[in-house]
Amino acid sequence: MATYRMGQAAELLGVSTDTLRRWADAGRLATTRTASGRRVVDGVALAELARTSAAEPEAGAIVSASARNRFTGIVTRVVKDTVMAQVELQAGPHRVVALLSREAADELALAPGVLAVAVIKATNVVVEVPARP
């Protein structure tokens, strides 16, 4: 299974490296050390932490921004049937759900803990700006 350096894992979760280290020291996230002594995080454990700690952003937190079309994140869940697959990706505070063929999911070896990029191409994009106080 994939492992991630602390900096990579922190970026995927949308937190600082220091925050991730504190979480690991507190037992919230298991880490191991490489032969050279670097701390790394197991991809499956990182995916579970991303899934359980994801929170809906507050409506008032949005200021004047539009999301980009590429979201690098970690796969948190894959549900497959005989034809289709549902893939969930956590990219910082953003949860992206994609439906694709099972064949494509298998070819990409998508599973919890795998690093992936969601590329979003839409003909209808809604951009919102909340009321200013």
Rounded to two decimals, the pTM is 0.64
User: What pLDDT shows up at residue 99?
Assistant: 93
What does DSSP assign to residue 69?
S
Q: Encoding tokens for residue 31?
A: 């880490």
| 32 touches 42 (CB < 8 A) | yes
What the chain holds in terms of domains, given with CATH numbers, is: 3-55 (1.10.1660.10), 60-119 (2.40.50.100)
pLDDT at 128: 75
Contacts of 123 (CB under 8 A, 6+ apart): none
HSE-up (13 A, CA, CB side) for residue 26 = 7
- Residue whose entry in the numeric block shows the structure tokens 């999301």: 67
Which tokens hold the place of 19? Answer: 């925050």
Full pLDDT tens readout for the chain, 133 residues? 689 999 999 988 888 899 999 999 999 999 999 999 999 999 999 988 888 876 555 555 555 445 457 788 899 999 999 999 999 999 888 888 999 999 999 999 999 999 998 888 776 666 777 776 5
